[in-house]
């Protein structure tokens, strides 16, 4: 259900042309669920992250135990309790900080994934806006957040924050290139930037038994998926690429000076960004809402399930990375990007092109 | 917010910072990410250990030695009592010697587990840290079983021990060693041979042997630079000459000799050697013996002085004790291995990046309690 | 005995360098238990001790400052060790309490830099030629040298009351 469809429905009800209230109502009707999706995503993901890290580290993680309120059964209410705590915390702004920018930065960072999710198709019908340049739009909006990071780092008037901001600017800008290049390869294959069309291209089967996903399409697209996925891990600043907030070096990087709800917005946007980049990976490479067993479970309801399921798997892999690997150094990070991934991604575009012409 | 100049920026790492291993301040001059000069500023944890000693009896000094290197308290006790016993000419019973070696080596393992685990944290790997703490926890349980304390033991006394081994200790210790040895391999696979870890540590912070000796660096840091020097072998004290164990030295497997990886590797190997020593000591442990037998009624040292070194997990731990014949020491000086290790930091870490400085600092395994005393 | 041999060799090479030891205060004899040196030639002797092929005392283990008593002079003790020959020696230098000056050996053994700063910090011994002689453990504006036997604690430090040292066990 896109905004346009809702407006058209309003028009059919009232029998008049498009009016301002219709547009506003349509935006609210679609925007509110999206906000809830992002907020829920953060709450669930934080809980899962805690449990996953606990299981990997031979711990049990947040648990409810004994009588009274102890974060609920299995610690399910732990993140809720945390969110409450963050809401009640004192909002500290350093006296030397650039007040306006300091306050503005978390919103800009959160705005980026919120804008991006508007174009994401959750299944065959659930989509706020079916843009014809969907991939381009999502990538552009996703990289918008780096402005917020730089603002936060600069406005804090803290040397650690500044280091964190500079590192993340360099990192995110660099890793967008291999991520973008590997998606270009797919766009070439499909011949469209529209997300729904990219998914529809992936329906059906390949060689009779595999789902017709881009990742299985040819060896080059298989490689493109890995380049994109690793680059996207770097783009969302997660270990082993978490150098902008490397806690053993930069204390907390760009959000060192933030506390309370403002800090929570950073946290929220980190998980929201994870959702966006994995959603793009699922749409572009893993068939979006298509079923892994071609022909079965292909209804719209199952589509939503498959889409979220695939995202969940990829987010779990990201968590797995985080609790396994040490952190790279800044120059090594740049080395991987500019000297390994970008040439490989270039080669990939060529490879996919040749494959498409030769093999089909 | 002025005009951008090409000047260097001064960065204060610490005294409150996640990876300074205590309250250490590094006064760092940086040009972008590259560090051009480092000056460690210490003294935030100075607790007047040496001044206190002049007002205490010889036995009362022991709990204070615990608090110097709080990660390897047994070894600090050990160094002090070995020095005092040589000073007084006390011969301690066999059983006491064996128990002391077992405790010191267990504490060496515990200390190295912290060193390696926190080093993982320094380079960004969180999980190995908790695995290693899990095993350290079992060592602390053994200590708790023995003397009731988990961190600051006051266990070794001049001429004996505070408690004999409890019933079941030997079995519990064997059980721990049996569980611990396979775990070691797991830790090495998880962190030491991880590609990213090697990238971060190999060829970083190379400490050449001559520089190490110039700066009085000892222990695993010196051995990482390829110098085979271990007081347990070279100047055996207590009963270390009875055990069969090797001294691992850095060979530059992943980069050049004396890099961070070598120092890490040496500590990792030393844990296996300590396990060997403990197994032999448990095997030969005399069944009979009174741990309070040789305790002097009152420790009163003769006039004179002694300088005695022992091998603590961080290197040569020396005690310089001067007595004027009275009941309290005239002067106690502690030569702490971490102090010398930290002094070499500015030499080997200048010119590297901020991330490397953290990695190099972690690889030196300093304990601020011992540096500031 | 290592110390005796070192004493002999120093007497041969630097006839003026040996000093009369104050070790008798603790029942020790110069030449046997330690080598007593005058402060002035110490730097030359130190260089020679490090470089002489037979001695090769290349590692400075420890520098201990000692206050011999309220009216007595100060003393600086150096524990040297050879990584090559595995032997060690102890050098002691007695300096007057009013004007405690010892040449710095920071250029001979790099670690002496920090050790000497520590002795300066706690005993007030000045090391001439030291590259960076300032307090190391105590704050730079601390008054007095705490490990001297006649040291009295200040009442307050920046308005903070300094707790008093108790004598003996209470």
Q: How far apart are CA B316 and CA C155, in angstroms?
A: 37
Residues composing chain A:
360
pLDDT attached to residue C30? 65
Burial A121-151 (b: 16+ CB within 10 A, else e): bbbbebbbebbeebbebbbebbbbbbebbbb
**Which of B133-140's residues contact partners 24+ apart within 8 Å by CB, and which partners?**
B134/A58, B135/B109, B135/B179, B135/B180, B135/B183, B136/B109, B136/B110, B138/B176, B138/B179, B138/B180, B139/B106, B139/B107, B139/B109, B139/B110, B139/B113, B139/B176, B140/B110
Choose the weakest-confidence range: A240-249, A250-259, B225-234: A240-249
Contacts of residue B139, defined as CB under 8 A and 6 or more positions apart, other chains included, come to B106, B107, B109, B110, B113, B176
Would you state the structure tokens that stand for residue B160, as one six-digit string?
A: 């004996």
Question: What subunits touch chain A, counting only 3 or more CB pairs under 8 A?
Answer: B
Which of the given ranges, A82-96, B9-23, B129-143, has the highest pLDDT on average? B129-143
Query: Does residue A67 carry a pLDDT above 60?
Result: no
Task: Assign B192 a pLDDT band (cuts: 50, 70, 90).
Answer: confident
Q: How far apart are CA B45 and CA C137, in angstroms?
A: 9
φ/ψ of C89, rounded to 5, equals -150, 155
* Ramachandran class of B24: left when φ > 0, alpha when ψ lies in -120 to 50, beta otherwise: beta
Q: Which residue has the tokens 């090797």?
A: B246
Contact A109, A149 (CB under 8 A): yes
pLDDT attached to residue B111? 92
* Ramachandran class of B34: left when φ > 0, alpha when ψ lies in -120 to 50, beta otherwise: beta
Minimal CA–CA distance to C92: which of C58, C52, C50, C42? C42
Q: Which residue has the tokens 């399921």?
A: A309
What dihedral do alpha carbons B148, B152, B153, B154 form, nearest 10°? -130
Contacts of residue C10, defined as CB under 8 A and 6 or more positions apart, other chains included, come to C17, C18, C35, C37, C45
Helix (H, G, I), strand (E, B), or coil: what is residue B46?
Answer: coil
Q: Which residue has the higher pLDDT, A13 or B89?
A: B89
- Chain B residues 226-285 with a CB less than 8 Å from chain C: 227, 229, 234-235
Query: Does residue A186 carry a pLDDT above 50?
Result: yes
Instruction: Say if B27 is an interface residue toward chain C (CB within 8 Å).
Output: no
Kindly list the residues from chain B whose CB atom is less than 8 angstroms away from the CB atom of residue A53: 126-127
Helix (H, G, I), strand (E, B), or coil: what is residue A307?
Answer: helix
Task: Mutation target for B interface from A60, A167, A248, A339: give the one with most B CBs within 10 A.
Answer: A248
pTM of the model: 0.86
pLDDT attached to residue C53? 81
Torsion sign across C-alpha atoms B207, B210, B214, B216: positive
Contacts of residue B273, defined as CB under 8 A and 6 or more positions apart, other chains included, come to B245, B246, B247, B248
Query: Does residue A65 carry a pLDDT above 60?
Result: no
pLDDT attached to residue A98? 83
Q: With an 8 Å Cβ cutoff, are B33 and A243 in contact?
A: no
Chain A: residues touching B (Cβ < 8 Å): 53, 56-59, 98, 159, 163, 239-240, 242-243, 246-251, 323-332
Neighbouring CB atoms inside 10 A of B172's CB total 17
Kindly list the residues from chain C whose CB atom is less than 8 angstroms away from the CB atom of residue B235: 86
Kindly list the residues from chain A whose CB atom is less than 8 angstroms away from the CB atom of residue B199: 328-329, 332
Q: With an 8 Å Cβ cutoff, are B215 and C111 in contact?
A: yes
Q: How far apart are CA C79 and CA C60, in angstroms?
A: 6
Q: DSSP string spanning C75-107? A: EEEEEEE-TTT--EEEEEEEE-SSS-EEE--TT
Radius of gyration of chain A (CA): 21
Query: Does residue C1 carry a pLDDT above 50?
Result: no
Neighbouring CB atoms inside 10 A of A180's CB total 18
Minimal CA–CA distance to B370: which of B40, B74, B67? B67
pLDDT attached to residue B112? 92
Contact B56, B64 (CB under 8 A): yes
CA distance C82 to chain B (A): 10
CA distance B249 to chain A (A): 25
Query: Does residue A18 carry a pLDDT above 70?
Result: no
Of A58, A326, A329, the CB nearest to B131: A58
pLDDT (mean) for C39-50 = 84
Minimal CA–CA distance to B315: which of C61, C23, C163, A164? C61
Q: How far apart are CA A191 and CA A205, in angstroms?
A: 19
**Which of A37-45's residues contact partners 24+ apart within 8 Å by CB, and which partners?**
A37/A117, A38/A113, A38/A114, A38/A117, A38/A268, A38/A272, A38/A275, A39/A268, A41/A271, A41/A272, A41/A275, A42/A79, A42/A267, A42/A268, A42/A271, A42/A272, A43/A79, A43/A80, A43/A83, A44/A79, A45/A271, A45/A274, A45/A275, A45/A315
pLDDT in tens, C103-150: 888 888 888 889 999 999 888 888 888 888 888 888 888 888 888 888
Residues composing chain C:
170
pLDDT attached to residue A217? 79
pLDDT attached to residue A72? 65
Query: Does residue A134 carry a pLDDT above 70?
Result: yes
pLDDT attached to residue B140? 92
Choose the weakest-confidence range: A132-146, A310-324, B313-327, C6-20: C6-20
Contact A257, A168 (CB under 8 A): no
Question: What subunits touch chain B, counting only 3 or more CB pairs under 8 A?
Answer: A, C
First and final C-alpha spacing in chain B: 41
pLDDT attached to residue C170? 45
Cis peptide before B15 (omega within 30 of 0): yes
Q: With an 8 Å Cβ cutoff, are B200 and A328 in contact?
A: yes
Q: How far apart are CA B263 and CA B256, in angstroms?
A: 11
Torsion sign across C-alpha atoms B50, B55, B61, B64: negative
pLDDT in tens, B49-107: 888 888 888 888 899 888 888 888 999 999 999 998 888 888 888 888 899 999 999 99
pLDDT (mean) for A258-267 = 84
Minimal CA–CA distance to B205: which of B313, B15, B338, B362? B362
pLDDT in tens, B248-270: 988 888 888 888 899 999 999 99
Task: Mutation target for A interface from B11, B127, B135: give the one with most A CBs within 10 A.
Answer: B127
Q: How far apart are CA B249 and CA B226, in angstroms?
A: 5
Minimal CA–CA distance to B314: which of B213, B223, B187, B240? B223
Query: Does residue C165 carry a pLDDT above 70?
Result: no
Query: Does residue A12 carry a pLDDT above 60?
Result: yes
pLDDT in tens, B347-360: 888 888 888 888 89
* Mean pLDDT, rounded, of chain A: 82
Q: How far apart are CA B128 and CA B126, in angstroms?
A: 6
pLDDT attached to residue B1? 45
Query: Does residue B151 carry a pLDDT above 60?
Result: yes
């Amino acid at each position: 259900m896109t905004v346009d469809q809702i407006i058209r429905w309003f028009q059919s009800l009232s029998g008049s042309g498009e009016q301002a209230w219709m547009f506003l109502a349509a935006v609210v009707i679609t925007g509110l669920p999206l906000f809830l999706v992002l907020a829920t995503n953060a709450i669930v993901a934080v809980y899962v992250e805690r449990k996953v890290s606990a299981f990997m580290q031979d711990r049990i993680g947040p648990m409810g135990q004994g009588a009274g309120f102890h974060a609920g059964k299995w610690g399910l209410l732990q993140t809720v309790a945390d969110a409450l705590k963050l809401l009640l915390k004192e909002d500290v702004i350093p006296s030397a900080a650039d007040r306006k920018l300091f306050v503005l930065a978390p919103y800009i960072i959160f705005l980026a994934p919120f804008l991006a999710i508007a174009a994401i198709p959750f299944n065959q019908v659930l989509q706020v806006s079916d843009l014809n340049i969907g991939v381009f739009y999502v990538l552009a909006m996703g990289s918008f957040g780096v402005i917020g990071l730089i603002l936060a780092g600069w406005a804090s008037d803290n040397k650690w924050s500044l280091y964190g901001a500079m590192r993340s600017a360099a990192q995110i800008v660099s890793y967008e290139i291999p991520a973008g290049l590997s998606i270009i390869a797919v766009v070439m294959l499909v011949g469209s930037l529209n997300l729904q069309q990219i998914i529809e291209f992936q329906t059906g089967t390949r060689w009779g038994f595999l789902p017709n996903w881009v990742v299985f399409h040819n060896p080059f697209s298989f490689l493109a998926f890995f380049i994109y996925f690793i680059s996207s891990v770097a783009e969302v600043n997660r270990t082993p690429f978490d150098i902008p907030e490397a806690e053993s070096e930069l204390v907390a990087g760009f959000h060192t000076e933030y506390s309370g709800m403002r800090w929570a917005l950073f946290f929220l946007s980190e998980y929201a960004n994870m959702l966006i980049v994995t959603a793009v990976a699922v749409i572009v490479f893993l068939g979006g809402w298509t079923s892994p067993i071609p022909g079965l479970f292909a209804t719209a309801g199952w589509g939503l399930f498959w889409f979220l399921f695939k995202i969940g798997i990829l987010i779990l892999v990201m968590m797995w990375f985080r609790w396994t690997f040490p952190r790279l150094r800044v120059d090594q990070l740049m080395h991987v990007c500019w000297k390994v991934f970008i040439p490989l991604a270039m080669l990939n575009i060529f490879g996919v092109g040749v494959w498409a012409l030769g093999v089909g | 917010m002025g005009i951008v100049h090409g000047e260097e920026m001064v960065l204060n790492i610490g005294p409150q910072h996640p990876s300074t291993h205590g309250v250490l301040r590094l006064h760092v001059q940086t040009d972008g990410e590259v560090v051009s000069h480092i000056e460690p500023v210490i003294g935030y944890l100075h607790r007047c250990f040496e001044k206190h000693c002049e007002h205490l009896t010889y036995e009362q000094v022991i709990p204070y030695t615990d608090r110097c290197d709080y990660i390897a308290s047994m070894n600090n006790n050990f160094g002090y009592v070995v020095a005092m016993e040589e000073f007084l000419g006390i011969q301690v019973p066999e059983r006491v010697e064996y128990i002391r070696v077992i405790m010191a080596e267990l504490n060496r393992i515990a200390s190295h587990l912290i060193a390696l685990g926190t080093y993982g944290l320094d380079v960004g790997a969180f999980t190995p840290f908790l695995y290693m703490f899990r095993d350290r926890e079992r060592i602390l349980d053994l200590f708790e079983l023995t003397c009731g304390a988990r961190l600051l033991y006051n266990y070794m006394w001049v001429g004996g021990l505070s408690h004999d081994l409890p019933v079941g200790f030997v079995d519990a210790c064997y059980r721990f060693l049996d569980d611990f040895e396979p775990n070691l391999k797991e830790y090495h696979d998880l962190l030491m041979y991880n590609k990213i870890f090697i990238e971060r540590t190999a060829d970083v912070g190379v400490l050449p042997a001559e520089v190490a000796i110039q700066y009085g660096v000892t222990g695993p840091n010196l051995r990482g630079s390829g110098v085979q020097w271990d007081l347990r072998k070279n100047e055996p004290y207590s009963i270390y000459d009875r055990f069969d164990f090797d001294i691992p030295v850095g060979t530059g497997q992943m980069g050049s000799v004396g890099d961070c990886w070598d120092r890490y590797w040496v500590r990792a190997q030393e844990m296996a050697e300590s396990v060997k020593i403990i197994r032999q000591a448990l095997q030969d442990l005399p069944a009979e013996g009174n741990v309070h037998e040789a305790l002097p009624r009152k420790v009163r040292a003769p006039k004179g002085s002694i300088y005695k070194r022992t091998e603590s997990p961080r290197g040569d731990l020396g005690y310089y004790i001067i007595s004027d014949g009275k009941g309290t020491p005239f002067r106690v000086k502690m030569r702490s291995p971490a102090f010398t290790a930290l002094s070499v930091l500015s030499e080997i870490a200048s010119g590297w990046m901020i991330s490397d400085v953290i990695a190099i600092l972690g690889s030196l395994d300093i304990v601020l309690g011992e540096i500031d005393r | 005995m290592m110390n005796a041999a070192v004493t002999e060799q120093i007497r041969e090479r630097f006839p003026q360098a040996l000093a009369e030891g104050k070790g008798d205060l603790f029942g020790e004899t110069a030449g046997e238990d330690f080598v007593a040196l005058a402060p002035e030639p110490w730097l030359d002797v130190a260089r020679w001790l490090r470089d002489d092929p037979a001695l090769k005392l290349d590692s400075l283990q420890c520098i201990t400052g000692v206050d011999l008593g309220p009216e007595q002079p100060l003393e600086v003790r150096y524990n040297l060790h050879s990584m090559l020959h595995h032997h060690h020696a102890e050098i002691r230098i007695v300096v007057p309490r009013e004007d405690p000056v010892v040449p710095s050996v920071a250029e001979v053994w790099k670690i002496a830099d920090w050790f000497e700063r520590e002795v300066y910090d706690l005993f007030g011994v000045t090391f001439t030629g030291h590259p960076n002689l300032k307090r190391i453990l105590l704050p730079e504006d601390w008054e007095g040298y705490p490990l001297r036997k006649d040291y009295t604690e200040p009442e307050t430090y920046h308005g903070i009351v300094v707790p008093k040292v108790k004598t003996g066990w209470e």
